[in-house]
Chains A and B, each alone.
Chain A
């Protein structure tokens, strides 16, 4: 046993040390981050970031309006309307597929995969 310990792998010991150090640091930092002070500081930093973001949005919005270029909000509004159109198209397509459900899949405009042969749904668990 004694001889075995003298051959201890220094790299293995280093890895163990790394793992232990990581655990200890995580524990220590988690304890520090689980305090009101930390949350308060994070809240303040977030406030600062949001202020900056808000100011930038306003300044940029005014500038874009001045040079007659659509703002982010204008583009988002178009995006939203496009999404609504997509949604309506999906509903129409869905309705057509339902109407054609009685016809062969390929005729109903189903994707190619739907026309491919599928395995039977007969599988039973091995231990059943």
Chain B
């Protein structure tokens, strides 16, 4: 019984490989000749613009929405469309369909004159200003905040310095707190060899190429392996579409405002003040223990950018009684976007946030 089945299998495999080889040739040409897929398509309005900052309000997609609006705070080093890739693969769209009223702060691409922006500007001015506008727009007096990666850092700093403010809930995804856990970044920015003052004084904003190279160097063999993987799956339209979206996003880094980079390098990477609860912004100490709002930190098991050691201390430092950490399978990006996120992070977030948004 087994022998014929094996014969068929081998035959099928050979046929399959021939078909895939033909498909690879055809689709390879398509790949070269077509542009990047469209991203960030969920309908939205810009309700506030200030410099490069834009505050989006996404059009609701349900008959009724939760009382508390949700504001997404993005990282300063990447573009926000990772949370709104394409229909069916968009966290924003998912939240809208589940009845959340969603707003997002898009920092835009810093211009050369933005080199003077510091954490103070983001945490004490831009975020509170946007939160106020969200409340005004939604006619509510509370707002839930979601921060991804460095956006999580900004959101927790905001929460700690506005403990009596309107933040109803805070959800962070893979947010680094302890710089000692980011071994390679820490090593590369060693103050003995890395003169951050000279970098910022000479270049102003830190060029995106530099940031891209440093992220790429965390997994130096991945680029080759990814290309081989792409060739292997070139016959598969879904894989290619997904690959292009993620690859585009990963390469779509933006400049890092110079003064803010100087501050993050010195205060976070060198002095590790965030983990020591000693960080000061605008002369005020960022005491994460002052955050009393319900808090969830979702981390990725195989995160190579923010390893678990860097993210682990966040929950213990938060002062809320209602707080938890959830570790999910996946990496830094697949935690929030793609097939992995659809079945893991998104439902977790919906269930946690829904209960606390009435």
List residues of chain A with CB under 8 Å of any chain B CB. 3-4, 6-7, 9, 11, 15, 18-19, 21-22, 25-26, 29-30, 33-36, 38-40, 42-44, 46-47, 50, 53-54, 57, 72, 76, 79-80, 83, 86-87, 90, 111-114, 118-128
Query: Which one of B45, B112, B193, B228 lies within 8 Å of A76 (CB-CB)?
Result: B112
CA A125 – CA B137 in complex, angstroms? 23
Give the residue among B59, B138, B193, B219 with the most A Cβ atoms within 10 A: B193
Contacts of B49 in A (CB 8 A): 90
B10 near A7 with CB under 8 A, answer yes
Contacts of A83 in B (CB 8 A): 51, 113
Query: Which one of B113, B192, B217 lies within 8 Å of A33 (CB-CB)?
Result: B217
Contacts of B247 in A (CB 8 A): none
Please list 21 pairs of residues, one from A and one from B, whose beta carbons are closer than 8 Å in the complex, sorted by A's number: A3-B6, A7-B6, A7-B10, A18-B225, A22-B222, A34-B183, A34-B187, A36-B190, A38-B187, A39-B190, A40-B192, A57-B202, A76-B113, A87-B50, A119-B62, A119-B64, A122-B67, A123-B64, A125-B357, A127-B351, A128-B358
In order of increasing CB-CB distance, the 7 nearest A-B pairs are A43-B193, A25-B221, A125-B354, A113-B45, A22-B225, A79-B113, A123-B99
CA A121 – CA B45 in complex, angstroms? 19
Contacts of A125 in B (CB 8 A): 351, 354-355, 357-358
- B174-198 CB mask vs A (1 if < 8 Å, else 0) is 0000000001100110101111001
Give the Cβ gap from B198 to chain A, nearest Cβ, in Å: 6
Interface size class of B (residues with CB under 8 A): 35 or more
Does B13 count as interface, using CB distance less than 8 angstroms?
yes
Closest to B60 in A: A119
Does B25 count as interface, using CB distance less than 8 angstroms?
no
B66 near A39 with CB under 8 A, answer no
CA A126 – CA B355 in complex, angstroms? 9
B2 near A3 with CB under 8 A, answer yes
A22 near B221 with CB under 8 A, answer yes
Does B322 count as interface, using CB distance less than 8 angstroms?
no
Contacts of A19 in B (CB 8 A): 225
Give the Cβ gap from B98 to chain A, nearest Cβ, in Å: 9
Contacts of B111 in A (CB 8 A): 79
B202 near A50 with CB under 8 A, answer yes
A113 near B59 with CB under 8 A, answer yes
Closest to A80 in B: B113
Give the Cβ gap from A127 to chain B, nearest Cβ, in Å: 8
CA A15 – CA B47 in complex, angstroms? 48
Contacts of A21 in B (CB 8 A): 221, 225
Q: Contacts A123-B65, A128-B358 given; indicate if A79 touches B112 (C-beta within 8 A).
A: yes
Query: Which one of A7, A30, A72 lies within 8 Å of B184 (CB-CB)?
Result: A30
CA A4 – CA B9 in complex, angstroms? 11
Contacts of B351 in A (CB 8 A): 125, 127
Contacts of A72 in B (CB 8 A): 112
